[in-house]
Structure 1
C-alpha cells in the first residue's frame, strides 16, 4: 500500500509556478525546484514525474485560472457587456501606473520560450488563446444585441483584434512602457470595436 503524501500538492504547485515564472523553464533547475517546494528529488519525481511533466501541470493550472478569471470578469448582471469590456481594458492599462516592475504572464513567457520546440506548450497556448477570443467574441455579440456595440462590426474579427491588443499591452507593461502608451492602445482598440474610450 502506498504511503499517503505528507505535503500539500497545491502549495507545491504554487511554489513551482513561482520558480518557473521567475526563471523560465530552461533556467529552472531541479535543485531550484526542490528548494522552492521543500520536497526532495525523489518525492518531486514520485508525485509529479519529470521536470517537463511538472511544468505542464503548472502551465495547465495557470491557464485554467487565467481563463476562469476572465470568464468571471466578463460575467455578471450588474453591468453591460460594453461596460465590462471597457473595465477590462481599463484594468490592464492601469497596471502601467504601478511603480513596481511587472513580469509577463506565465503563458506569454512560456509561449515565447517553448512553443516552437514543445508541442504540448504550443497546444495549450493555442487552446487558451482560443478560449479567450471566444469569451471576448461573446461579449461583443452581447453588446451588439443590447445595442451598445455597432452591429456592423464583425464580432469574431473584433474579438481577435481585442485579444491581440490585450496581449500586446501586457508585453508593453513588462517593458515598463509609460502608462500613456497603454491607455492609447486601449482607447484605440475600444474605438475600433465601436466602444467609447476609457
Structure 2
C-alpha cells in the first residue's frame, strides 16, 4: 500500500488537469445545494484546487531525500534525541476532513544524527497526505528507522479528528493517541518509560 501511495502521484500523466480539478469542485458545490455560478463562488474552484495542492503536498516529497543528510561529528553523543510538540495538520482518508495534532519523535543515535528540522519536515511530509493516525505514526517511525539506522525510534502522535468532532458522534475535544517503537525502545521498557516521561514532563 505504501508503495502505491508513494509512487502514484509522481506519475504526472495520471493526475487530472487543473481544469478537471476545478470542474470536480463545481460538481461538489452543486451537489451540496449551492450555485457555482453565483458571485461568491466563482473563484472557489480555483482556490480549492490551489489549497489542495498545498494541503496534500506531501505526495510530491520523498522522505528519504529529506533524511538523506546526516552528521557524524557529534562528540560522542549517544543518548536520546527528542523533538517534542511538533504541530501538524493532516486529513482523514475516510472523510477528507482535518486531523489536528502534535507529534513527539525520538531516536537513539548510532553514530549519526539528523538536523533537528528534518524531523519536523518528516512529520509534515506524512501529515500532508490523506491519512489514518495509525498509519502516519508507523510511517514516521519506519522512515527514520530505514534511513538513519539508529539504535531505536519512538513516535507518539496526539490528535483530534474532525470526523469525530464535526460529524458522526460529534464529540469535540476527544484526543486519539498512537505510538510506535522500534529497536531499543521496543525491547527495553526503561527506554520506553524514559521517552514517555520526557514527552509528558512539559
User: How does the TM-score come out when normalised to structure 1?
Assistant: 0.32
Structure holding more helix per residue? 1
Tell me which of the two structures has the higher relative contact order, counting C-alpha pairs closer than 8 angstroms and 6 or more residues apart: 1
TM-score by length of 2: 0.31
More strand by share: 2
